Structure 1
Amino acid sequence: MSNQQLTYSPFDPEVMADPYPVYRELRDHAPVYWSSQASCWVLSRYDDVSAALADPATYSSASGIFPTPPGVDMTDLFLPMLIMSDPPRHTQLRHLVSKAFTPRRIAGLETHIHTIVDDLLDQSPETGPWDFVSEFSGPLPAIVIADMLGVPREDRDRFRTWSTTLIQSNPVRGEFGAGLDAAAALYEYFSAFLADRRAHPQDDLMTALVQAEVDGEHLTEEELLGFCLLLLVAGHETTTNLLSNSAVILAQHPEDRRALADDPELVPAAVEELLRYDSPVQGLARTLTRQVDLHGQAMAAGDTVLLLFGSANRDDHAFPDADHFDINRRPERQVAFGRGIHFCLGASLARLEARIALRALLTRRRDWDVDIDSAVRLRSGPIRGFASLPIQ
């Protein structure tokens, strides 16, 4: 199949339903592919994606991380975010923010996460149908993030609504309006909250962010608001979709599910395989700072390049028999959380939540079925997951 015969857009509903066959076509026949629908180049092979992630000087994040239509600049739409910055400012920001994500702080959440998971399962039916997203995989990370920030728990439903609206705003379909409204609501909320924490410090993440400094420098107000937005969306949506995708995969692989239920010690490695097999973040974009020649194709300075994490994680050259789900695989090189300077700051928290949630689910609900025909997928190209997932 030639490049001209292949059609790919990250926002195609058929691709969102099952992107992996077209990923294979891209890797085999068009490893450097121009998507006219998304106005960007697409890299799909593991080695190419990994090399791009390791070269932020060439593949810049400063102009945005999602494909947007010509003339739309993400930096004009959102306040500064860590994920949309390059060194040296990125280095300073990450050093500041990492103080709020120390191993000790994350480890200290384990007992609290266990309690939240048990409470959510106590409220769910043991046999009857329930919506896995609205009743379990959605509330869990929303509660954790709200509690980390010190935000009143009664506000978490609003957070979930704002976050989901923002994630599902599709720029290719001209649906940025609702997402920008959601972002504005979040900025307004967090602005008042930051002011309160400056006046009345607490033992929470928001206070830690306000107080964090390196060489006498604090985060600016805009950077704090941008980080709050990033933390809510990335810290919430990634874990929600990891758990929802995992519920589907394990329903489709009952023998593996039984093996995990029988031996919970297998769960941590299985989480890595679940991340590889159906990555919650399928890809993020970069902007070229210089011309790059790859596989006989020239990509010009200023062009947008979409790095397909989901495709890289299904590359047979990196993971033999990659389309096969294997809980005994050790996919240490999977790139579901990215790589290099932009490796997901909340990866350890997402892994902890997933391990605790899946162990509890496998202990208390050893068997389940998913009504995939009634499930509703998220309409966001880069984010793979469900808005609704009926399960029993």
Structure 2
Amino acid sequence: MSATETKPVPGTPRVINPTLFASELGVPGPPREVAIDDRTVWIFSRFEDVRACLAHPRLSLATRFAADHGLEPPAGGLFANTMLGSDPPDHTRLRKLVSGAFTMRRIEALRPKVKQITEDILDRLAPLGQADLVATLTYPVPMQVICELLGVPIADRDDFHEWTDIMFRPGEGPEGVARARAASAKLAGYITELTEAKRRKPSDDLLTALNEAYDGDDRLTFEEVVGTGRLLLHAGFDTTASFLGNSVYKLLTHPAEREAVRHDPALLRTAVDELLRLDGPSTVNMRFAKEDLDIAGARIRKDQQIVLDLEGAHRDPAHFAAGAEIDLRRAPNPHLTFGHGIHHCIGSPLARLEGQVVLVALFNRFPDLRLAVPPQDIRRQRPNHPLRGPERLPVVFTPQS
């Protein structure tokens, strides 16, 4: 297909949904313009093109562009008043303030808690001999970790779990979108109340640290602290839960790689990055043109939407030998799952930490763990959800007393 040829893509772009572009994704090639309803978007799929677009100063991730296109996540406007939904200079200011609170030291201090949460869950599963690992492990671990990080009181966690579960698995059709948005509104209200409580009574958690973050005379506004809390909830819970589910699925369907993870702890660092590259939670990223411009031979109009095909970029033979295959020792591995440039994911160290802890603990505890259903029965693109990740992951194993 030439760079100017258009091809209809079925669907209605009312919510951000990668399945709208599914037929166009996964194969690296020149930029191509495709039609969606009454407009066209550009799709970039070569690694160098995608990386350049992610860092391009005249391409925007600001929420106002998505709103102008009628595009938003099913759970609603999660990214208002956040660094992910802004451009410089607002982004620069927000990133500096948030980075001062969300430090590597704070993340690494969570490692013992992540291990404890994981081991406690595996202890409860051990005598059962079967489980849905999404419901019992890959969803609860990051949910509990983000509660610890943000300082959600134990008494509030059942409600927190209920709202995040609806957002994680909203269900089919317009009703699913409505459920997700209602749960998102309740969760946003709760984060607002919790932020107010942390201002009145500070404690050792990230929301308190965000309330107290400063750069000279500059501080985050109350709305920015609340927005950042919502953002970290999405990135620290939803994205990580999807990543963990994908990773467990991938290793269950690749027994040799699963055994390598069990027997070689030194492999974990490169293994986690390979799982993020090959089967990450995000199949696409998006940008909007702030002005008319040319990129890699594509003539992009002001305000036009750009779809960045991470699947294609991560299989580009110019950067990844045998890119469609899993290689847990792949190094270097410059994948773009966490973005690139100013919007590189600030929570990426926490996602890697959780991946390292959960995967080695799970497969060491249950060495004969296996899927209880054929792999093709695992649905991994949830309805009304922008991320790829299994809804269910039924498994069986030898019970342990």
Spell out the pairing of 1:156-305 with structure 2 (5 A cutoff). Answer: 156-166=157-167, 176-305=177-306
C-alpha distance after superposition, 1:61-100 (max 9, x if no partner): 11368x67844578x9453222111111111111111122
- 1:64–1:285 Cα contact (<8 Å) kept: no
Comparing 363-372 with 128-137, which one deviates more in the overlay?
A: 363-372
Q: Is the 8 A contact 1:97 1:212 kept in 2?
A: yes
Q: CA deviation at 1:176?
A: 4.5
Deviation string, structure 1 residues 141-186 (Cα, Å, up to 9, x no partner): 1111101111023433433443354466799969653333222212
**TM-score, with length taken from structure 1:** 0.88
Q: SS state of the match for residue 298, structure 1?
A: strand
Over residues 270-292 of structure 1, what are the superposed CA-to-partner deviations in whole Å (9 max), with x where a residue is unaligned? 00100000111222211101223
Superposition map of 1:71-150 within 5 A: 71=70, 77-78=77-78, 79-125=80-126, 128-150=129-151
Pair 1:141–1:329, CA change in 2 (3 A): same
User: Aligned equivalents of 2:206 and 2:273: distance in 1?
Assistant: 27
Offset at residue 342 of structure 1 (A): 0.5
Deviation at 1:198, TM superposition (A): 1.0
Correspondence for 1:349? 350
Q: Distance in 2 between matches of 1:8 and 1:311?
A: 20
Matches within 5 A, 1:39-58: 40-55=41-56, 57-58=57-58
Q: Please report how far the alpha carbon of residue 367 of structure 1 lies from its aligned counterpart in structure 2 after TM superposition.
A: 2.9
1:375 aligns with 2:378: yes
- Partners of 1:125 and 1:18 lie apart in 2 by 41
Q: Which moved more, 1:325-334 or 1:349-358?
A: 325-334
Note the alpha carbon deviations across 1:211-246, whole angstroms, 9 max, x for none: 111122221222122111111111001211111111
Aligned residue number for residue 34 of structure 1: 34
SS state at 2:391 partner: strand
Cross-structure match for 2:25: 23
Asked whether the equivalents of residues 283 and 382 of structure 1 are also in contact (C-alpha less than 8 Å), the reply is no
1:320 aligned counterpart, secondary structure: coil
Counterpart residue type for residue 247 of structure 2: S
Q: Which residue of 2 aligns with 1:330?
A: 331
Distance 1:22 1:36, change over 3 A: closer
8 Å CA contact retained: 2:134, 2:392: yes
Contact in 2 for aligned 1:167/1:383 (Cα 8 Å): no
Relative to structure 1, is the Cα distance of residues 208 and 5 closer, same or farther in structure 2, using a 3 angstrom cutoff? closer
Deviation of 1:297 after TM superposition, in Å, equals 3.3
Inter-CA distance 264–289: structure 2 relative to 1 (3 Å threshold): same
- Corresponding letter in the other structure for 1:58: R
2:388 corresponds to which residue? 384
- Supply the distance in 1 between the matched residues of 2:240 and 2:278 (Cα, whole angstroms): 15
Confirm or deny: 8 A CA contact 2:169 2:391 kept in the other structure: no
Q: Post-superposition shift, 1:133?
A: 0.8
User: Which amino acid is 2:54 matched to?
Assistant: L
Alpha-carbon distance in structure 1 between the residues aligned to 2:363 and 2:166: 31
Q: 1:334 Cα deviation (Å)?
A: 0.5
C-alpha distance in 2, partners of 1:183/1:346? Answer: 21
Do the aligned partners of 2:94 and 2:220 also contact (CA within 8 Å) in 1? Answer: yes
1:303–1:6 distance in 2 versus 1, CA, 3 Å: closer
C-alpha distance in 1 between matches for 2:11 and 2:25:
11
Q: Distance in 2 between matches of 1:167 and 1:158?
A: 14
Gaps of 5+ in 2: 397-401
Matched, 1:62 2:65: no
CA distance 1:165–1:312, change in 2 (3 Å):
farther
RMSD (Å) for aligned C-alpha atoms: 3.1
- Give the CA deviation at 1:294: 3.8
2:306 is paired with a residue whose SS is strand
